[in-house]
Amino acid sequence: MSPTRRTTRRSLARRRVPRAAALALLPATATACANDVPEADWSRGLLPDHVTQEGGVVQSLWNGAWIAALATGAVVIVLILWAVIFHRKRKSSAELPPQVRYNLPIEILYTLIPLVMVSVFFFFTARDSAALAQVDGDARVKVKVEAFQWSWRFTSTVDGKALQPVAGVPVHDYHEGPQLVLPVNTKVEFDLSTDDVIHSFWVPEFLFKRDVIPGIREDNPGRKFQINTLNKPGVYAGRCAELCGVDHSRMLFSVKLVSQDEYNKYIATQAGSAQ
Ligand SMILES: [Cu+2]
């Protein structure tokens, strides 16, 4: 290579490397800028930090699934490389390596191993799904969630007394949407309903979402779910996760977790206007 060509290449690389680096950083910075996207963290497998006990169940299922998937992937890659390296056709001879078609023990083995793996995945998924779908009915706070095109109405009932409903309009920022105030360290039951189209109730920090489907009767267990809030006060973004029309993306709300004391003060201000 001539010295001039080498310099051109080097300067080209000098120009391209920072550009590539900037491009690689783009997803990270984009995440940091968007104000309603929870901070991603590799230690949690990119899930947001959960604020409910149930979120902990999802997080551990997620971690377990990744560990199992990566372990499976590693074993498969090692087996492929082993076959490719040690059992390839040699250039020196025209003969094929020994063929193992219709080898019954091997076929039984590679039927049984995936069966066992799928059973293990199924067991943990079914166990955790059942736990997440569990509704005891004795929650201190019960929230009636009504989804509509394109916002939400939240009506909390605390110790049997209904508070004034909180309803919103389509907004660009979740801080401006309707706000559901909930106490920390409390069991909360949700009842989801809608009169128009399918929506989906999603608070990323709950690590949970549930479709809100019109025409589902009140006694259908699919309408309800419960959470146990952790002691993590803060304001968390919520959104509709089912494309439901032109202002779907503006169907934003927030959940504010407050201390028990603060919640009791909040109830006092809301109770007077309750119906
Ligand atoms: Cu919607």
Q: Model confidence over 64-120: pLDDT tens digits?
A: 999 999 999 999 999 999 999 988 888 888 888 777 778 899 899 989 999 999 999
pTM beyond 0.85: no
Percentage of the chain beyond pLDDT 70 is 84
Are 264 and 147 members of one domain? yes
Cα of 167 vs centre of ligand 1, distance in Å, is 14
Q: Are residue 155 and residue 247 in the same domain, yes or no?
A: yes
> Would 253 be classed as within a structural domain?
yes
Mean pLDDT is highest, among 9-13, 33-37, 199-203, 218-222, for: 199-203
Which of 109, 133, 157 terminates a domain? The answer is: 133
74 and 172 share a domain?
Answer: no
- Compute the mean pLDDT over every residue in the chain, rounded to the nearest whole number: 87
- What's the gap in Å between 62 CA and the centre of ligand 1? 26
pLDDT one-digit tens code per residue, 30-80: 444 444 555 667 888 899 999 999 999 999 999 999 999 999 999 999 999
Question: Is residue 7 in some structural domain?
Answer: no
Tell me the CA–centroid distance for residue 82 and ligand 1, in Å: 51
Angle between helices 53-86 and 104-133 (to 10 degrees): 170
Burial letters for 60-92: b for 16+ Cβ neighbours within 10 Å, e otherwise?
A: ebbeeeeeeeeeeeeeeeeeeeeeeeeeeeeee
Cβ atoms of 201 and 147 within 8 Å: the answer is yes
Those residues whose beta carbon sits under 5 angstroms from the ion ligand 1 are 199, 240, 244, 251
**254 and 197 share one domain:** yes
CA of 172 to the centre of ligand 1 (A): 14
Query: pLDDT tens-digit profile of 129-147?
Result: 999 999 999 999 999 999 9
Domain end point (choices 84, 102, 133): 133
Residue 98, Cα to own-chain centre: how many angstroms? 47
Residues spanned by the domain of 109: 54-133
Strand pairing of 179-183 and 252-258?
A: parallel
Please give the distance, rounded to the nearest whole angstrom, from the Cα atom of residue 207 to the centre of ligand 1. 18
DSSP string across 19-32: HHHHHHHHHHHHHH
Specify the amino acid at residue 102: Y
Evaluate if residue 24 carries a pLDDT over 60: no
